[in-house]
Amino acid sequence: MSPPAPPPCGRFAPSPTGPLHAGSLVAALGSWLMARRSGGQWRVRIEDVDRPREVAGAADAQLAMLRACGLDWDGEVVRQSARGALYQSALDQLLADGHAFVCHCSRSALAASGGIHRGRCVATHPRPDPAIRLRVPPDTRIAFDDGLRGRIEQDLWAEVGDFVLRRADGLWAYQLAVVVDDADQGITDVVRGADLLDSTPRQILLQRRLGLPTPRHAHLPLLRDAAGRKLSKSLGAQAPDPADPLPALRAAWQALGQWPFTADNVQAWRVHALERFDPARIPIADPVGASPTGRACQHD
């Protein structure tokens, strides 16, 4: 008799490189709705392994915005910067099993050889600060069923190659950290933006190498500006106002393809949203972004 399936558990994992902009709110809201509608838990994790890019106070501002929007979470907020021992343990396992290797290739040398690392280092001499990569053998194909986009398949050897687990500057790579964290936190459902769709096959391969479970995945549409560019902090995407979050929530709800409704406060909005949310209405195509007032965002 097989053990019972774990209860659903989703998560939202922002990087603290700026305020929670409109595109991030779409991802947070979609993830929260998918978890709560099934009676599951929802966790928040601050992905702050890339410390040079971190903006002081950004994590606290992001959490404040989630609270203002009524997107409550379960358990303590996890910060990747405090979890290095877990990542090191996973890396040691991969090295011991022969799945990972030390790489002395510089970015310039790798670019000169085609930009994809496939099995053999092209470095002419050892570096004092080598990276560590996951070995991706030829014909490594990963396929999975996305909850919104259907069957996805990628030839990792041809399209990605051996990818970094620990960077040459000593920082942990996103791919390793997120896989270790999702397993440690019991995440069963990863609902996030489609900009991370290309990372999913790498993470599934890592999960298999480490003997970890693979969550279900669903990749949400991205908000784009009038020029078709993804709304992001780097493009100056407008941050919602935590003092008046309802316009931003309505815009995110619209971006998820849901029928509009009226509510006078965040608590009432939450109740109605959970009652009315229909995942089947989430679009595949990326919508043009809406500002918290509902007007199309224009960015230089």
DSSP 226-242: TTSPBP-GGGTPPPP-T
CA gap 142, 214 in Å, rounded: 12
Q: Is the dihedral of CA 40, 68, 252, 284 positive or negative?
A: negative
pLDDT in tens, 211-233: 999 999 999 999 877 665 665 55
DSSP string, 90-120: HHHHHHHTTSEEEE---HHHHHHTTS---SS
Distance CA 120, CA 135 (A): 10
Q: What is the dihedral of CA 267, 73, 149, 260, to 10 degrees?
A: 10
Q: What is the pLDDT of residue 287?
A: 76
pLDDT of residue 238: 63
* CA–CA distance, 94 with 112 (Å, rounded to integer): 28
Q: Please pick, among 216, 233, 276, 299, the residue that the annotation labels catalytic.
A: 233
Q: What is the CB-side half-sphere exposure of residue 266 using CA atoms within 13 A?
A: 17
DSSP state of 56: T
Residue 272 phi, psi dihedral angles, 5° rounding: -65, -40
pTM of the model: 0.90
Active site residue 233: yes
Q: What is the pLDDT of residue 121?
A: 83
Low-confidence residues in the chain, pLDDT < 50 = 234-236, 290-300
Please give the domain boundaries of the chain with CATH numbers for all domains. Answer: 9-82+221-281 (3.40.50.620), 84-176 (3.40.50.620)
Write the pLDDT tens digit of every residue in 63-91: 999 999 999 999 999 999 999 999 999 99
pLDDT digits (tens, 9 = 90+) for 250-278: 999 999 999 999 999 999 999 999 999 99
Coil/strand/helix, residue 181: helix
Length of the chain as a residue count: 300
